Amino acid sequence: MEPSSPDSLEALMARLADGDRSAFDAVFGRLQPPLYAFCLRMLGNEADAADAAQEALQKVLERASDYDASRRVMPWALALAGWECRTLSRRRQRRREVDEAEAGERPGEDPEGTHVQRQLVEAALGALGTLSEQDRETLTATFWDEAASVAGATFRKRRERALQRLRQTFWRIHGLG
């Protein structure tokens, strides 16, 4: 959907910023599913994803009155969701470390695999956070099926470049180059 269309998320958000409460349900309904899906992919746990998505959604709506109509809503909301997921993930990690320190190793579980996977996701998201807004939007559209501002060959080129930059950033940050 075009950002300028009256039913676009941007137009609904602008109405909400103006104090039009009738747009609230529509904004909530349009933001909640993608934020939840995004958090589920990042955290791999339904309950945590629901919590992080809810926190992100509350932050977006709390700042709805300050919304700048020239900005796209979804990349902003996903950036906030990414932040919430990282925060929640770190909090869970700390709690797990404390629990493990208190209870010792439990037999029969493979926490290492899960831990490594989470670390990798976090590292990739950290690298994603250093990219430009256009790259972030392109990669968000690629991995989370979000509508991008461009399509076709332009989008493919952008995606290729964004992936290349993500790879380089990841290598640089983690000394793999």
Q: Which residues bind another protein (CB under 8 A)?
A: 16, 18-20, 24-25, 28, 32, 46-47, 50-51, 53-54, 57-59, 61-66
CA distance 154 to 137: 13
Q: Which is nearer to another protein, 39 or 166 (CB)?
A: 39
- Of 17, 6, 15, the C-alpha closest to 61 is 17
**Cα(142)–Cα(63) distance, rounded to whole angstroms?**
27
Query: Identity (one letter) of the amino acid at 58?
Result: Q
Closest approach of another protein to the CB of residue 35, in Å: 11
In whole angstroms, how close is the CB of 56 to another protein at the nearest point? Answer: 10
Q: Nearest approach, Cβ of 140 to another protein (angstroms)?
A: 21
Token pair of 111, please? 């926490």
Closer residue to another protein in complex, CB, 19/104: 19
Q: How far is CA 121 from CA 22, 53, 58, 81, 152, in A?
A: 38, 17, 24, 14, 28
Pick 21 or 106: Cβ nearer another protein: 21
Residue number with CB closer to another protein (29 or 111): 29
d(CA 35, CA 152): 25
Nearer to another protein, 31 or 166 (CB): 31
Q: Are 162 and 75 in contact (CB under 8 A)?
A: no
